[in-house]
Structure formats: structure tokens, C-alpha cells
Structure 1
Amino acid sequence: MSLSQHARAQAAAITPGGASPGQEKTPSDQLLALFDGHRLSPGQRRIAQYLVDHLTEAAFLSITELAERVGVSQPSVTRFAVSLGFTGYPALREALQPIALSAVAGVPGSREQLRRNELQAAVDAEIQNLENVRRLLADTDHVLEIGRELADSVPLTVLGLRISVSLAEYFAYAARRIHPDVRVVTRGGSVAYDALLQARAAGGGWVLAFAMPRHAKETLVALRAARSTGLRVALITDPTVGPLVEEADVVLTAGTGSRLVFDSYAAPGMISAALLQAMADARPERTQARLEQYEQAADQHGFFL
């Protein structure tokens, strides 16, 4: 199917005439369906959010007017339309206008309802991501084996660059409670390479890497550097198949919530917690001893309220 054919098929699917008999979609459902299943950048999500908030007006704006209202360039609007499967902004606007007219005509789906549905749809998408993780974790032997490998790697390097820094730091913070030597790499380039060389020289066998969209080029460089030093790579990433996966020895995938301006990471966080559990179970005596030592230190120094 050509791009223009795909765009026409999408437009038919989201207009009232494309709904199944007895299952006519509200304007809010139609608009959200337009964005569903597409990986949008934060800038593109700003455009989508403007359309959500100003549908009845925005659907009739020229590309110049829409770009000015959102505060982006005209090429950005064009790229946004193409990312949704349309040939350009005119084709997107043609699909939007019937939805806007149905909203004006009083079909259920006010702007407030649209916003409410949008936020609920984001939660629903995350629930689906967690359901997929639940199926992934059904193979407990696989997860436990990865946990054992990470537990036995001393030091254990945890890598996360750009948007993935927060996931790497969460994992490393918790892992330090049960593992004697956890090293975090949150900067790319020669800094990452130096840290990986030192970890390997100190006896480390594994690096656990987080790579969430949008995938950073320096993450790929770091994974290749890790393999060149002799480290094995366990990768937690989204289901997108790409060059990062080719550089990993073990891959665990989890979808990211992409309905809002910025992604949410409930599913990758769940995989991280499962791996931490597997590491703890792999070395129960060491885990217990370290946890007790930490609690004693926390009490002694008053770490917590």
C-alpha cells in the first residue's frame, strides 16, 4: 500500500462513515485513533496536543497558521503529518475536518471529554505495556539466569544515556544495596569508554544498558565499546528492532508510554525491579548481609524520617 493509499485508509477509518454499524466513534475517539500507534517526538506531540485542545479551529488552519499557533516551523508540521502516514499537511487536514465538524454538530465528545479520554488512554496504553511484561516474565528461568549473571559480575556496570539516565540511576541505586560494586555510566563518548575499560580490568563481566526512545547514537557507540573490551551486554529497551539489539547478548523489551508529550516508563521500571529481585535471589546470603548492614547504617546516621 502506498503512503497516499495508507493515508486515505486512515481517514476512512477515523471518520464517522468508517465506523462499524452500531459502533460510531465519538470525535474524541476518532482523533485519538489518528495518533495511536505512531512514535512521535516531543515536538510532534506538542502539535498533536494543540489539535486536541483546539480541534474545531485547528482543523481549518493553513500550515502557516498552525505552525505559528504551536510555535514550530512549517517543515515540522509537514513531518508531523508524514509521521502519521499522510502525504503531507493537506491530507491530514482533510482527515481532521470531518471530525471537527461532527464535534461542532454536537456529537458527544467535548474538548474536556477529549482531554479526559486522552489521559485515560495513556494509562490504558501503559496497562497494556505491563501486560506484555507480565507475559515476558512468565519465563522465570530466563529472568533468574540473567539476574545470576548480573549478580556475579563484580563490578557491575549500569549504562543509561540521555532520557535513559533516570532508569539507570534507579537500578544502580537499588542494586548497590545488594551488590558490592555497581558503577553507573551516564555520559557517552570517551568518558563511557574509559569507565567500561576500567570495569573490565577490575574483573567485571557484564554491563546492563537501558536504551529508551529516542535512541541515542552514543548508546550504540558505548555498547560496541563494551563488547570490544570483552564485557557482555544485557539490554533493556523498547520493542523497536534496531542496531542496538544487534550489539546485545541478552535483550529484554518493554513498551514505553507514548501517548503524552513525554514518554512514561512503567513497563521498563517493572523489568528493572524484576531483575533486582532475581539478583537478590541469586545470592541470598550476600543480599541479606548487605541489607542488614545498610539498615544499621541508616539507623545510625538517621537517613530517613
Structure 2
Amino acid sequence: MPSPQQARAQASAITSGKSAPEAGAAPTSQLRELFDGPRLSPGQRRIAQYLIEHITEAAFLSITDLAERVGVSQPSVTRFAAAVGFSGYPALREKLQAIALKTLGSTPSAPAEDRGNELQAAVDVEMENLENLRRDFADPDQVIELGRALSQSTPLTVLGLRISVSLAEYFAYAARRIHPDVRVVTRGGSVAYDALLQSREAGGTWLLAFGMPRHAQETLTAVRVARSAGLKVALITDLALGPLADEADVTFTVGTGSRLVFDSYAAPVVMSAALLQAMTDADPERTQARLEEYEQIAEQHQFFLKD
């Protein structure tokens, strides 16, 4: 009889193909698609990131107000509009307003008396992050494809520095149940360089990196080392644009909760679990064999309490 984890592995396989677009793509996904194509300058990335983070307000700003909010010149905003394929700022703003209005229409503001306290507001932010992730998952093919690639990378290296250590440790802990060689890097500098170079020399092909705010310079350096060594990089982060995303072969952008003193990571954890599921689906025979072996060891050594 399969263990609960084995049964879940069998029952939770991801189905390829787009589901019905009941709510449309998340605003972040639409803006990322809009801005990801062209190679933007650092100043243009600042404009793009501001629009992504403040779409419902920024879409209705004049060119003067937008330039002032971002801290750039008006000609810079005009050049940005041209760089992302529009005839000028008015045409770009029309597109942004269409996205913003759909966002406002799909998430009506709660009455003041229903908004609750700060803890409830923090939960509301995470619910919105998860809803955006749910929309992104309407087409799971990229998750499936990356899960297959991570499954085939032996060894598979997982990187998370500073605040991202916990996410890397969670992913690596679970991945070791279904993958024969998972290496986790949670220290930067020369320690990270050694681990990444050794992973490539041992035959590894992919690095999965977590980059949460505040984004560490040493994470960017480690990702660049990985690429120079010949590893492909998959990135889970909260920023669709910027130096980290520029270095990645595949980027999944997920929101973080920032209403409390320390950020919360509901969406990044679900994103991690989705990739683990995709790795499970990629090689079901190996998955079942490894889970069976682990259950036998766990039973033999009494790892867990009897529920």
C-alpha cells in the first residue's frame, strides 16, 4: 500500500495545456510580457519596475508625474515607451490603463469597515499574491518543462543566500526525496564558487536560485559564476526585471508579502512546491522507487511519530 506521500505524488500530476482563462493573466504577467522582450537600459528598467509595482495608480499618471515618481526625465519616459514598442507615452498609457482597469474590476476594494487590522491586511496581500500565481498557472507548460530539466540535472544545485536560505533549504529537503543528488548552497563568496564549479564538473546542468528582497549582491555574483561555468539558471524572485532576471535562463516572478516588519513568502513556497511536483511527474518510476526506499528507512529508524 503506498504511503500518503506516494499517493499524493501519483494523484497530483500536472496536466499540460492552458486552462480556461476565467480571470485572464495576472497583471504582473501581462506587464512582464510587455517589457521582457526588448533590452532595457538601467533607467528604463526602473520605469518598468515602477509600473509593475504600482500599475493601478501609475497607469493614470501624466508623463510629467510618472517621470517625477521614478526620478527620470520626461524624454526618458518617451524613449522607454518607444523601446517597448509604442509610438509614444500616450499609446503606452492606453495599454497600461486597460490592464489597470481589468485589475481594479477583478479585485474590488473592500469597504473600510471590512479591511480588518494590519495582520489581516498582511494576509490579504498574500491572498492577492497567490491569486496572481494561480493565474500564471493557467498555462503550466513552463513549469512542466523546467521540472523535467531540473529532474535530469545530476547533480542539481539549489542556491539561496541571506533571507532566501529558508526557501532553498525547503526545496532541497523535499527534492532529495525524489532526486539522487541535490546540493544546496547557502553561503556566498568562495564557498559558493567552489560548490557551483564542482557541480558543473560533476555533470550538473542547472542551478535553481532564489532571490528575495533585499536582493543580495552575492546572489547576483554567484549566478554569474554559475553561468560562466556552463550551468543554466532558473530563478524564483519577486522582480520581473533587473540584474538577477537578466542573468537567468528562466524566471518565475512571484509576489512577497511586505506588510509586516519581515516579508512573508506564501507564493514562493507554492511556486517551489509546483516545481517539485513537476520534477516528480518527470520521472515517476524513479520517484516511486525513492519514496518507497525512504519510507522503509523512516519506518526502520522511527523518524516520525505515529499519528
Partner of 1:88 in structure 2? Answer: none
Partner of 1:185 in structure 2? Answer: 185
Higher relative contact order (CA 8 A, sep 6+): 2
Partner of 2:205 in structure 1? Answer: 205
Partner Cα distance (2:277, 2:194) in 1: 29
Pairwise CA distance, 1:141: 1.3
Partner Cα distance (2:240, 2:151) in 1: 27
Partner of 2:128 in structure 1? Answer: 128
- Deviation string for 1:43-93 (max 9, x for gaps)? xxxxxxxxxxxxxxxxxxxxxxxxxxxxxxxxxxxxxxxxxx7xxxxxxxx
Pairwise CA distance, 1:122: 0.7
Amino acid at match of 1:235: L
Partner of 1:152 in structure 2? Answer: 152
Pairwise CA distance, 1:282: 0.2
Pairwise CA distance, 1:138: 1.5
Partner Cα distance (1:204, 1:139) in 2: 28
- Deviation string for 1:18-45 (max 9, x for gaps)? xxxxxxxxxxxxxxxxxxx79xxxxxxx
Partner of 1:216 in structure 2? Answer: 216
Partner Cα distance (2:303, 2:257) in 1: 33
Partner Cα distance (2:240, 2:259) in 1: 17
Q: Say which SS state the counterpart of residue 142 (structure 2) adopts.
A: helix
Q: Say which SS state the counterpart of residue 294 (structure 1) adopts.
A: helix
Q: Say which SS state the counterpart of residue 157 (structure 2) adopts.
A: strand
Partner Cα distance (2:303, 2:120) in 1: 37
Give unpaired runs (5+ residues) of structure 2: 1-52, 55-68, 70-111
Partner of 1:284 in structure 2? Answer: 284
Partner Cα distance (1:210, 1:288) in 2: 27
Amino acid at match of 1:244: L
Partner Cα distance (1:233, 1:125) in 2: 29
Amino acid at match of 1:269: V
Give unpaired runs (5+ residues) of structure 1: 1-36, 39-84, 86-108
Question: Which residues in structure 2 correspond to 1:138-149 (within 5 Å)?
Answer: 138-149=138-149
Partner of 1:137 in structure 2? Answer: 137
Pairwise CA distance, 1:117: 1.8
Question: Are the aligned partners of 2:239 and 2:245 in contact in 1 as well (CA < 8 Å)?
Answer: no
Partner of 1:262 in structure 2? Answer: 262
Partner Cα distance (1:228, 1:137) in 2: 31
Partner Cα distance (2:187, 2:145) in 1: 28
Question: Are the aligned partners of 2:240 and 2:251 in contact in 1 as well (CA < 8 Å)?
Answer: no
Q: Say which SS state the counterpart of residue 117 (structure 2) adopts.
A: helix
Amino acid at match of 2:230: G
Partner of 1:272 in structure 2? Answer: 272
- Deviation string for 1:110-156 (max 9, x for gaps)? 9xx99x52111110110000011111111111110000000000000
Pairwise CA distance, 1:240: 4.8
Partner of 1:80 in structure 2? Answer: none
Partner Cα distance (2:137, 2:234) in 1: 16
Amino acid at match of 2:143: V
Amino acid at match of 1:183: R
- Deviation string for 1:204-234 (max 9, x for gaps)? 0000000000000000000000001000000
Amino acid at match of 1:298: A
Partner of 1:247 in structure 2? Answer: 247
Partner Cα distance (1:139, 1:232) in 2: 22
Partner Cα distance (1:140, 1:254) in 2: 15
What do you get for the CA RMSD once the two structures are aligned? 2.0
Pairwise CA distance, 1:239: 2.8
Partner Cα distance (2:184, 2:122) in 1: 31
- Greater gyration radius: 1
Question: Which residues in structure 2 correspond to 1:99-118 (within 5 Å)?
Answer: 116-118=116-118
Partner Cα distance (1:193, 1:182) in 2: 16
Partner Cα distance (2:173, 2:151) in 1: 14
Pairwise CA distance, 1:241: 1.8
